[in-house]
Amino acid sequence: MQNEIILSTEELTKKYGNQTSVNQVSLNVRKGRIYGLLGRNGAGKTTIMKMILGLTSVSEGRISVFSQPLKGNARKIYPRIGSIIETPGFYSNLTGTENLQVFARLRGTINKTAIQNALSVVGLPYKDHKTFSSYSLGMKQRLGIANAILNDPEMLILDEPTNGLDPIGIAEIRIFLKKLCHEQGKTILISSHILSEIALLADDIGIIHEGLLLEESTLDQLKKKSEQYILIQAPDTAKASYHLENELGITNYSVEDDQFIRIYDLQKEVSAIGQSFFHAGIHLTHLELCIDNLEDYFKKITGGVGIA
Ligand SMILES: Nc1ncnc2c1ncn2[C@@H]1O[C@H](COP(=O)(O)OP(=O)(O)O)[C@@H](O)[C@H]1O
Ligand SMILES: [Mg+2]
């Protein structure tokens, strides 16, 4: 798992006038993995990606890609990265294949096999007659990805590539991004404001909130942080707490309000706790093992209403 870090930013900052949109972000993307940048709209995801791709200037901080500083090496680095930032400007009166031909020519390479391959990866036909204007949103997004992978780049930077897609379209994109990464060893930096989507796709997650990187960890580590506890509801919490401590030997618990107690000590089975209360004649109105999910965790660390 200790893959080499292939892209990193150090205290990367973007200021627009006196607004700091990206605030000292230090993130680390490892080779051959999918890194999901997760944050609400306006969090700073696009701005981070634009700075990495040289589409907007860096106010402060450093970026390093493929083990070299971006500054001074951009001309060597950028041909090795494919990207989608906002909608690529495809021509509506051309077909998908023709559009890719135009973009390939702009990059100075035109290779029929590369175009065929890129289209087949995203499941679009080669040389059909449908023009871009009659494409569905899903097809447009796929063509964007085909264009990003045309030069067989080592790294992909994709800004919300599934925006506006239906669940089936999202699942399809997820499958081929995973393939690109896990079968072909590509590295992917992808952004999204949808937690459930990132949770199904990413190996590593960076949580961006109001320009700050609040947390960076593997998806597995994040999942472990989601809390487990036993929740009981008792009309008399004083009596219930006394029973917990003196009969069950449980001291790691908190009384939430005048009815609910959360038990963090999970040594005893839920059923054993229930029986013990029942035998002591202490009435419980509710008893349940609760697992806070990632969404709850996200809400907790961003201190707000959370994310879709
Ligand atoms: N060109 C710009 N000029 C001024 N403010 C901008 C510009 N681009 C983005 N911002 C601001 O920077 C913040 C982060 O935006 P953005 O990176 O687009 O967020 P996200 O991609 O996470 O939705 C927002 O408050 C946005 O209004
Ligand atoms: Mg954005």
Q: Which uninterrupted H or E stretch holds 4?
A: none
pLDDT of residue 87: 65
- Is 45's C-beta closer than 6 angstroms to any atom of ligand 1? yes
Q: Which uninterrupted H or E stretch holds 162?
A: none
- Which residues form the domain of 250? 228-291
Which residue among 202, 223, 244 closes a domain?
223
Whether residues 113 and 193 fall in one domain:
yes
Q: Cα(21) to centroid of ligand 1, in Å?
A: 6
Cα dist from 124 to 98, 153, 174, 183, whole Å: 13, 19, 16, 20
pLDDT of residue 38: 94
| 292 phi, psi to nearest 5 deg | -70, 130
Q: How confident is the model at residue 2 (pLDDT cuts 50, 70, 90)?
A: low
Whether residues 61 and 188 fall in one domain:
yes
- Is 16's C-beta closer than 6 angstroms to any atom of ligand 1? yes
Sign of the alpha-carbon dihedral angle for 289, 293, 296, 301: positive
How many other C-beta atoms lie within 10 A of the C-beta of residue 182? 13
Q: Residue 30 has which token pair?
A: 């490892």
CATH of the domain at 124: 3.40.50.300
* Residue 70 within a domain: yes
CATH of the domain at 278: 3.30.70.100
Whether residues 218 and 233 fall in one domain:
no
Q: Give the count of domains, the chain.
A: 2
Whether residues 241 and 267 fall in one domain:
yes
Which residue among 208, 223, 238 closes a domain?
223
Q: Cα(259) to centroid of ligand 2, in Å?
A: 43
As to burial, measured by CB atoms within 10 angstroms (0-12 exposed, 13-18 middle, 19+ buried), residue 220 is exposed
Whether residues 74 and 204 fall in one domain:
yes
* Residue 60 within a domain: yes
Helix 96-106 and helix 137-148, axial crossing angle in degrees, nearest 10: 30
* Residue 277 within a domain: yes
* Residue 55 within a domain: yes
Whether residues 237 and 179 fall in one domain:
no
Determine the 3-state secondary structure of 15 from DSSP: strand
* Residue 299 within a domain: no
Whether residues 189 and 258 fall in one domain:
no
Token pair 């069950």 is at which residue?
Answer: 248
pLDDT of residue 305: 55
* Residue 305 within a domain: no
Which residue among 170, 190, 223 closes a domain?
223
pLDDT of residue 216: 96
Pocket test for ligand 1, best of 37, 47, 160, 212 (most atoms within 8 A of CB): 47
Whether residues 204 and 80 fall in one domain:
yes
Q: Of all atoms in ligand 1, which is nearest to the CA of residue 160?
A: 21
Whether residues 136 and 248 fall in one domain:
no
Q: pLDDT tens for residues 209-265?
A: 999 999 999 998 887 776 788 999 999 999 999 999 999 999 999 998 889 999 988
Q: pLDDT tens for residues 168-219?
A: 888 888 988 998 899 989 999 999 998 888 988 999 999 999 999 999 999 9
Whether residues 10 and 117 fall in one domain:
yes
pLDDT of residue 306: 52
Q: pLDDT tens for residues 52-94?
A: 999 999 999 999 999 999 999 999 999 999 999 876 689 999 9
Residues with CB under 5 A from ligand 2 (ion): 45-46
Q: Of all atoms in ligand 1, which is nearest to the CA of residue 17?
A: 4
Q: pLDDT tens for residues 268-298?
A: 889 999 999 999 999 999 999 887 777 778 8
- Is 93's C-beta closer than 6 angstroms to any atom of ligand 1? no
Question: CA 75: distance to chain centroid?
Answer: 28
pLDDT of residue 122: 86
Measured at the alpha carbon of residue 190, what is the angle toward residues 186 and 195, in degrees to the nearest 5? 130
Q: How far apart are alpha carbons 29 and 145 in whole angstroms?
A: 20
Whether residues 76 and 208 fall in one domain:
yes
Question: CA 291: distance to chain centroid?
Answer: 21
* Residue 103 within a domain: yes
Q: How confident is the model at residue 48 (pLDDT cuts 50, 70, 90)?
A: very high
Q: How far apart are alpha carbons 75 and 10 in whole angstroms?
A: 21
* Residue 301 within a domain: no
Helix 167-182 and helix 137-148, axial crossing angle in degrees, nearest 10: 10
When pLDDT is averaged across residues 37-47 and rounded to a whole number, the result is 95
| Amino acid in the structure at residue 73 | N
Q: pLDDT tens for residues 119-154?
A: 988 889 999 999 999 998 888 888 999 999 998 899
Whether residues 14 and 143 fall in one domain:
yes
Q: Cα(37) to centroid of ligand 1, in Å?
A: 15
Q: How confident is the model at residue 304 (pLDDT cuts 50, 70, 90)?
A: low
Of the bound ligands, which one is closest to the alpha carbon of residue 206? 1
CA atoms within 13 A on the CB side of 211: 12
Question: CA 9: distance to chain centroid?
Answer: 17
